[in-house]
Amino acid sequence: MTHQPHYTPQDLIHFAKRCFISSGLEASRAQIVANKMIEADLMGHDTHGIRMLNRYLADIRQGNMVTDGEPEVISDRGPCALWDARLLPGHWVLQRGIELAIPRAKQYGSMMLGIRRSHHVGALNVHLTSIVEHGLIGILWATDSKVRSVAPFGGIDPVLTTDPIAAGIPTSGAPILIDTTTSLCSNALVKQTLERGEQLPSEMLKDNEGKPTRNPNALFTDPPGTILPLGGMTHGYKGYSLAMLVNVMSLALPGFGKASGEKNEGIMLHIIDPDAFGGKEAFLQETDWMVDASRASRSTSDSPIRLPGDRARELSKIRHDDGIPLENAIFENLTPYLQAHSIEAPHALQRVSQ
């Protein structure tokens, strides 16, 4: 296996921030976007971290990401509100939304913020930690209004997309962090697998005749193939049903979507205060039981039972210490931009030979 260079999180954050500032993004906003991108790499969401930088910079140049201004408040009823993000950076917009929603959730017991016309928000669970730190439940629904890459269960033609759901759930210890798509994989994973000239790890796609395949090129034929919904060829009705719910929450409720033909992200942020319901003590008693009982379950392998979020925390510690592994092509693809703005690519860590 080819060794990949490793980079410190700090160097990557500094590098991404410089690139965004050179493209016209104000420094504090650039800092938030860079932080969230590299946090995704630390947690193992490799498809949604620094690998997205080239796309984001291109979107700024093409006017598909707006660098200044504020979200437009469409409605505000206290415990529920709607913003039009105006194509502002999704990481920054969502951070602003969380800052608004946390105190309101504590005031009202629950706060829902719909966001339409946002730029890409990246990996969802990087946004959850600041919510659960307050003892609150955070739920995120998000999707793209234009991309169609998932067929209805039993169908061939793409209608929906990978439609992720994420949730942060407090416990007395480390929080449960759920971040999953309603499909077998993400669009980004398929694209990056194709770029590497590899096959997908299993038959995650259907070709344009409805046959399962590992070949990532199947998604880009004419007519295109599709990504299988969660549950695959036999039980994909489960993921298909959940995907429809994500579309309702993140597109229909914010009031735009696939019917409009716009290509933007829709988001629904929901923050809940357990104290407004059965109370924090009873809530933690139940979530702690769920954690303890799960870990005590007999394992089918030598590995202990993991909970959602465990792997991300473990990997984050490793990558903080050892650096984040990245392929050279990430920075090679950025060469024209870096030369035009006199920005130097980060230096890889020097590895000591064993």
Nearest 10 degrees: Cα torsion 178, 140, 325, 21: -160
pLDDT band (50, 70, 90) for residue 354: very low
pLDDT tens digits, residue range 159-203? Answer: 999 999 999 999 999 999 999 999 999 998 999 899 889 999 999
CB atoms within 10 A of CB 22: 17
The confidence score (pLDDT) of residue 351 equals: 65
Distance (Å, whole) CA 295 – CA 297: 5
pLDDT band (50, 70, 90) for residue 146: confident
Angle between helix 90-108 and helix 27-42 axes, rounded to 10 deg = 90
Q: Above pLDDT 90, what percent of the chain?
A: 91
Query: Is 205:212 a contact under the CB 8 Å cutoff?
Result: yes
The residue ranges of every structural domain in the chain are 1-68+323-354, 71-184+228-298+300-307
pLDDT tens digits, residue range 225-276? Answer: 999 999 999 999 999 999 999 999 999 999 988 887 777 899 999 999 999 9
- CATH level 3 topology of 71-184+228-298+300-307: Ribosomal Protein S8; Chain: A, domain 1 (3.30.1370)
pLDDT tens digits, residue range 337-350? Answer: 999 999 999 999 98
- CA distances to 50, 121, 296 from 175, rounded to whole Å, are 25, 21, 17
Nearest 10 degrees: Cα torsion 204, 207, 213, 215: -90
The confidence score (pLDDT) of residue 257 equals: 86
pTM confidence score: 0.93
CATH code of the region 1-68+323-354: 1.10.1530.10
pLDDT tens digits, residue range 75-131? Answer: 999 999 999 999 999 999 999 999 999 999 999 999 999 999 999 999 999 999 999
The confidence score (pLDDT) of residue 145 equals: 87
- CA distances to 190, 233, 258, 304 from 154, rounded to whole Å, are 21, 8, 21, 36
